[in-house]
Chain A
């Protein structure tokens, strides 16, 4: 671990509470490297999270942090950004947190194009509460609440974010740690609403039920079932999950537009 990374964590809370081999730790590891490489001072970052295994991440980072209500992280983050638009705001969420209870906040944050960095740590399960299926589990998955296999098809986070209007959308997995760092760096630098979906492993609640009992097997599964956008492998394997940057475009940002509005209205009074 670089000295710079150690400076960004609250060491007194380690070892963290995530299970052995949990992918969320790998996300934390590379998120810290992304922030360190960008050289953003700690007091210029706010991490806002909701509820769930993934949301515990805000307790481990030595930034300003807000641990809020289930699914409402983006609503709180919007409030922080509106009042302090110069701060960098990172919003890590789980799949249930972001797209089940928080689904409405998610699509509307995308639509507004407010300058937040949303990170969806997708392990396809509610791990903390005992392994219930989530809207990202997908058809055919076994979960404690789907003992005869899940009937519900899954959301595609990337397509959902794009169609709702997010201006930076990327996807990777915890196997591809270099991409985690690169995409998070780009997402933080991007002006506008950015979404980075990171497929993460839950060996305890998802893996055990679905014949991927070890974290190593789950990482190999991510390696084997995904392919980079524009690669030959993806062309030849239509069933593979694409990774990469799907959208990166410049659109007027919400807080900037809000400042313009204030100026315009004040001129008229």
Chain B
């Protein structure tokens, strides 16, 4: 599975909700307190970050193996 994290840095306020509740520790806040996907290869595509984000600032696009094959 391959996941792409589209982050709107202009909308992100760095509250850290996505960072704290990511089950695989994929996300971190950078020096500017904006979220970045530092370990995208660990992402399981649950999209909890996207659904909890109060700022609509993160979107996860998940490409699953069978979809890539097809």
Contact = CB atoms under 8 A, between A and B. Distances in A.
B13 A1 contact: no
B54 A24 contact: yes
A2 B62 CA distance: 12
A19 B14 CA distance: 10
B11 A14 contact: yes
Tell me whether chain B's interface is mostly helix, strand or loop, or mixed.
loop
B8 to A, nearest CB: 8
Contacts of B21: 216, 219
B17 A18 contact: no
A44 to B, nearest CB: 22
Residues of B in contact with A, size category: 20 to 34
B50 A25 contact: no
Interface in B55-70: 55-59
Contacts of A15: 10-11, 13, 55, 57
Residues of A in contact with B, size category: 20 to 34
Contacts of A25: 53-56
A178 B57 CA distance: 18
Interface string B2-35: 0000000011011111001100000000000000
A57 B6 CA distance: 24
Contacts of A214: 16
Given A1-B50, A29-B51, A30-B51, 8 more contacts: A5-B56, A14-B11, A14-B55, A28-B54, A28-B56, A178-B51, A215-B15, A216-B21
